[in-house]
Amino acid sequence: DAARRPAGIRPGGGGARRQTLGYLSTLRLADLLQMLCLNGWSGQIAAEWLATGRKGAVFLSAGVLIHALTDALEGEEACHAMLGWDRCEFRFIERHPPVVQTIHAPWQHVVLEAARRIEARLLVATLASRIASFCGVAETASKSCDAL
């Protein structure tokens, strides 16, 4: 029903499996997940990472994160990977087939751990870039000294 539908997403289907369609360009998957969990929703978020075409799904039951999967991962690892995707297309399907619960940690823990991992990857990339830049400067200086 429209009163319980999260802002910024539109209904995209009908029948027994109501779907909501949208794009995660300004809204991150973590924000959508938090909104649905806090409101006690049940269903499946099916997402496709537009940059790579990778696909995944997150399953909720009465606001509890119970399962996630991607092409190659399952459980918390899959959820952590998906939470690192930027521009995504998603479908929220209110009803989904039964799934085995592979996530037992609270959704807040899973989202925070994903954020920590994303920050760590960014830090490593920044440090690698600085080291490469420094090595390039050091190599140029070394060549200049050799020329003397």
How sure is the predictor about 17, in pLDDT bands with cuts at 50, 70 and 90? low
pTM > 0.95: yes or no: no
Lowest-confidence region among 23-37, 57-71, 79-93, 126-140: 126-140
pLDDT digits (tens, 9 = 90+) for 41-89: 999 999 999 899 999 999 999 999 999 999 999 999 999 999 999 888 8
> CA-to-CA distance for 90 and 49, rounded, in angstroms?
9
Strand order across the 19-24 sheet: 10-11, 19-24, 88-93, 43-49, 55-61, 64-70
Higher-pLDDT residue of 59, 132: 59
Tell me the CA distances in angstroms from 81 to 1, 57, 143, one per residue in order.
31, 11, 43
> Encoding tokens for residue 13?
């289907």
For residue 68, what pLDDT is reported?
97
Asked if the model's pLDDT at residue 27 lies above 60, the reply is yes
Q: What percent of the chain has pLDDT over 70?
A: 74
**pLDDT for residue 95:** 81
* 110, 60 Cβ separation under 8 angstroms: no
Q: Measured in whole angstroms, how far is the alpha carbon of residue 20 from the centre of its chain? A: 18
Say what the pLDDT of residue 111 is. Answer: 93
> For the ranges 40-44, 127-131, 134-138, 144-148, which has the lowest average pLDDT?
144-148
- Residue 102 has a pLDDT of 96
137 contact partners, CB below 8 Å, separation of at least 6: none
**What is the residue type of 91?**
R
Check: CB of residue 69 under 8 Å from CB of residue 78: yes
- What is the rounded average pLDDT of the residues 89-107? 90
The span from the CA of 82 to the CA of 56, in Å, is 7
